[in-house]
Structure 1
């Protein structure tokens, strides 16, 4: 009986120690967010090659090892015809793809996956001087974009 009591007591003490360690590690570990700054100008010349640039940082430090940076680009009113362009790392946390934009208003998401986090900032680009009547406001949301990204990545 005495042995059984000692086993139960030791088990309770070990369980209590394990709980304290788990609680303290939860409060000590904080994941820093991934920040993606799109560096593509908001105004570009129509019909010219346009570099799509995204600077990826975490905790103020350049992320040189992003798993994936993909620019999703579409012209206003043509959301279903978006194009996925894989970016290449060019240094200092900057990832680049290139596209040619005809006159119009374009939208882009920079789908960025790094260090098990995914962010997708949105950006507008005006190519040339489009007729304001040709511009359709973009009412798509991130869920639409995530669906397009899943099609692209095969997940």
Structure 2
């Protein structure tokens, strides 16, 4: 008689076990959010401040391990430039660059903070490029990751 009850109880124990494991400590790691502060329009050869705000929940992230901007002209990611950002205040990380030619550019903020990696991308139109001159950008984000390998550990 006892064995029968053991078998009935077993599936319930297994179910209960899974439920608690999935929740772990019950703490959900809050996503690190990276928002661009940089305008999407820039003038040729003018200093442009690349700027992002890094937050986690309601809190500004002051201790990001690394924020590196990858900047490239549309269709030419192979020649992208990596520009390390400096922490200013209130979770804002900035770097400066300038664009020497009219065109459509991309900036991607490779951000490592609190053991999470976030890499949002934003377009920047420089000057008034001829729409016909813009090459569609089909680069994969993994291309930027390859370039990041030399950076990690700063």
Calculate the TM-score normalised by the size of structure 1: 0.81
Equivalent position to 1:70, from 68, 71, 78: 68
Answering whether residue 37 of structure 2 is matched by residue 39 of structure 1, we say yes
| Higher helix proportion (structure 1 or 2) | 1
Retained in 1: the 8 A contact 2:75–2:139?
no
Kindly provide the CA deviation profile for residues 50-87 of structure 1, in whole angstroms up to 9, marking residues without a partner as x: 00001000012100000000000001121100000000
**For residue 140 of structure 1, what is the aligned residue in structure 2?**
139
Instruction: Give 1:153 shift.
Output: 3.6
| Structure 2, gaps ≥5 residues long | 1-16
Instruction: Give 1:146 shift.
Output: 1.1
Query: What is the SS of the residue equivalent to 2:29?
Result: coil
* Distance in 1 of aligned mates of 2:123 and 2:22: 44
Kindly provide the CA deviation profile for residues 92-116 of structure 1, in whole angstroms up to 9, marking residues without a partner as x: 1000000011211101110000001
Q: Which runs of 4+ in 1 moved over 6 A?
A: none
Considering only CA atoms, is the larger Rg found in Structure 1 or Structure 2?
1
Query: What is the SS of the residue equivalent to 2:148?
Result: helix
Retained in 2: the 8 A contact 1:104–1:127?
yes
**For residue 89 of structure 1, what is the aligned residue in structure 2?**
87
Instruction: Give 1:117 shift.
Output: 0.5
Calculate the TM-score normalised by the size of structure 2: 0.81
**For residue 131 of structure 1, what is the aligned residue in structure 2?**
130
Count of aligned positions? 136
**For residue 7 of structure 2, what is the aligned residue in structure 1?**
none
Query: What is the SS of the residue equivalent to 1:143?
Result: helix
Shift in alpha-carbon separation, 1:135–1:64, aligned structure 2, 3 A: same
* Distance in 1 of aligned mates of 2:78 and 2:21: 47
